Amino acid sequence: MEKPEYELMYRIETTYWWYTARRWLVMRILRRHLKGSSLAGLDVGCGTGGNIMALNKFSTMSGCDIAPEAVDFCRNRGLTSVVLQDRPDGLPFPDSRFDFVTGFDVMEHIENDARMLADMARVLKPNGLILLTVPAYKSLWSVHDESMHHKRRYDRADLLEKLGAAGFVPERTTHLNAFLMLLIMPVRRLLTLTKRGREMSSDFNLPLPRWLNAIFHVVFCSEWAILRFLPLPFGLSLLCVARKRQ
């Protein structure tokens, strides 16, 4: 990501509906799979630290990011356990260090995502947990992906195959952001048609009035009414919880 995208993330990560609602849902899903107390967690590609602040409420979190700007923004939030990665597909931590690892929309930025998944397995304790969110459907590639420097979008089968090859056993796979998908897709298509070849930016730059931002947050969070019982069969994102083979 470019520096302006990190600056934007830092400004809106605690208020913008996509961040806040996804975090709300992920926290509930993660709590269903994590057992025990005094858990040590790692957020890979932690960005400006919003997710670490939330996860710190029930675990001791570390973070890492390849971008010095992201680490600086985390330090501005008072997050001192965030370090700079020395390479995009490797982690600067010892073997079997963490009880769980998270990666919120980070795998699509990594050229060698298979190597990164293997390194995530390396730093996990036996039977440790991984939770990933990634953008879904290769067919939905748009100017948003280009502006965010994505390498790919994922289909469910691709993600599960790569997790299996890295030594993980899936426990839960679902789509997210299904209810708003039919609204967001045409907007991204329109931006792709009108902005390709010009200066591009993610659709997080689209200003929303406070009331509309609140509605989007509630609609996205309402997916929990289904997710607590069943996976969603479609949506703009994929979420997978998997456990490291012992």
Alpha helices in 124-155 (DSSP H): 143-147
- Encoding tokens for residue 9? 């993330």
CA dist., res. 183 & res. 235, Å (int): 11
pLDDT tens per residue, range 145-160: 777 788 999 999 999 9
* Predicted TM-score of the model (pTM): 0.90
Domains and CATH numbers, the chain: 3-244 (3.40.50.150)
Residues 110-127 pLDDT 10s: 999 999 999 999 999 999
Residue 88: per-residue pLDDT: 85
Residue with tokens 């995530």: 120
